[in-house]
Each structure stands twice: as C-alpha cells, then as structure tokens.
C-alpha cells in the first residue's frame, strides 16, 4: 500500500510538472504570434525538472517497484537527460531553434498522457489508454529527430569549448574526449531510438490487444 501511494504521488507530481511545461510552451507560441523561438526559455525550467526527476523511474525499475525493464528505463532517461542537460541547455544558440521547441512539445505531450495513465493504474479510461499507446507513434520520432538535430548542430560549439573532457596525465591514468564521444553517440542514437520505439509498439500490441479481447469476450 505504501509503495502504491508513493508511485501514485510521484506520477501525479510529474503530471503537474509536464502539464505546466506544455501549457507554458503553448502560451509562448500564442503570445509570440506563432513563433517558436521563446518556447525553450519559457518552459525550459519545468522540462528540465521533469526530465531530471525521471531518474527515479530507473530506481523504481531497479528496485522492482514497477515492471519496466531497467535497461529500457535507463536508456530513455539517460538519452533525454544527456541531450538537454549536457548539450542543449549550455549552448544558448540552440534555445531559440524550431528543433528545441518541437522537442519540448513532443516530450510534454507524451508525458501529460503517460504520467496520468500511470497514476490512474487499473482505473484508466479506455480513451486515455488508447492515447497512451498511440500518441507516441508521431510524437516519438518528432522528439527523437529533434534531439539528433540539436546534438549535431552543437558540434561546432562542442569542438570549440571541449567540455566534459579528461586529459592525461591524471591519477586514474585515463582520458576522455567528449567531442569524439558525442560524434560516436550520434552514430548509434538512431538505432537506440528505434529500439525504444519498437519496444513501445510491442507494448501497444499487448495493451490494446488485451483491451480488444476483453470487449469481445
């Protein structure tokens, strides 16, 4: 019972955070006459809060509080969090781009469906369950493509600043060159996104197929 109450509280809190992010994103577009250039600045704090807080979902999976595979939860959280916190947020020239706004909109629209679905659990209405396993079909590629575009266009700045780099010699006798890491990540990122995308399709078949079977019974 305590675990259920905690998970419900967590999912409600995340629902509120991502709802605020979506509302602020839409308001920014409306108030700026359809322009997407201020979406990041207007909604960024809530998006960063919601995304960084989602590390708890990796912990939930690790502790067995939820059924999600640990690796899937980790890939989802780490990919997004790295993109926004390590790459996009430190580079102000990326904030006003269309890609940043589309990423925010795709993420927030996905999460205002996902978290309420989790919070309601077995009491989820059919229409929301359908949205949970259908809205990702257009939203996931939009958000993922925006992440790739933003990381790719960060490369000149990353090359100039060389952040997060560990040079030799040091006590650990190891080196890490972040610009190379980011380039390598860009090569495998589409494959990782595809893996997660196909995983949700499998879940969609299970969940919506099960609902259809219940109706026909």
Give the H or E element holding residue 170: none
Q: For 205-216, what is each residue's pLDDT tens digit? A: 988 875 554 544
What CA–CA distance (Å, rounded) separates 164 from 188?
Answer: 20
Strand partners, 176: 166
Check 10, 57, 115, 147 and give the catalytic one.
147
CB-based contact 168:185 (threshold 8 Å): no
Residue 1 confidence (pLDDT) above 90: no
Check 40, 115, 140, 189 and give the catalytic one.
140
Maximum CA pair distance of the chain?
68
Q: For 68-106, what is each residue's pLDDT tens digit? A: 899 999 999 999 999 999 999 999 999 999 999 999 999
Q: Which residue, among 61, 102, 55, has the nearest Cα to 77 in the 3D structure?
A: 55
Q: For 34-51, what is each residue's pLDDT tens digit? A: 999 999 999 999 999 999
CB-based contact 115:15 (threshold 8 Å): yes
- Domain segments of the chain: what residues? 2-216
Q: Does 140 qualify as catalytic in the annotation?
A: yes
What's the mean pLDDT in 22-34?
A: 97
């Amino acid at each position: 019972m305590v675990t259920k109450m905690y998970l419900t509280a967590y999912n409600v809190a995340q629902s509120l955070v991502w709802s605020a992010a979506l509302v602020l994103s839409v308001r920014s577009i409306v108030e700026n006459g359809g322009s997407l250039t201020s979406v990041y600045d207007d909604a960024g704090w809530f998006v960063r809060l919601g995304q960084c807080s989602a590390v708890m979902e990796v912990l939930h999976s690790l502790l067995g509080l939820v059924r999600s595979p640990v690796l899937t939860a980790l890939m989802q959280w780490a990919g997004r969090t790295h993109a926004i916190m390590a790459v996009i947020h430190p580079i102000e020239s990326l904030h006003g781009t269309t890609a940043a706004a589309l990423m925010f909109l795709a993420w927030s629209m996905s999460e205002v469906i996902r978290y309420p679905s989790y919070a309601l659990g077995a009491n989820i209405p059919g229409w929301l369950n359908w949205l949970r396993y259908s809205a990702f079909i257009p939203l996931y590629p939009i958000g993922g493509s925006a992440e790739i575009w933003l990381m790719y266009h960060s490369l000149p700045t990353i090359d100039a600043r060389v952040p997060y780099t560990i040079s030799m010699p040091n006590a650990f006798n190891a080196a890490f060159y972040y610009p190379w890491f980011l380039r390598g990540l860009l090569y495998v990122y589409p494959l990782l996104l595809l893996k997660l995308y196909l995983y949700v399709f499998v879940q969609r078949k299970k969940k919506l197929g099960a609902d259809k079977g219940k109706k026909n019974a």
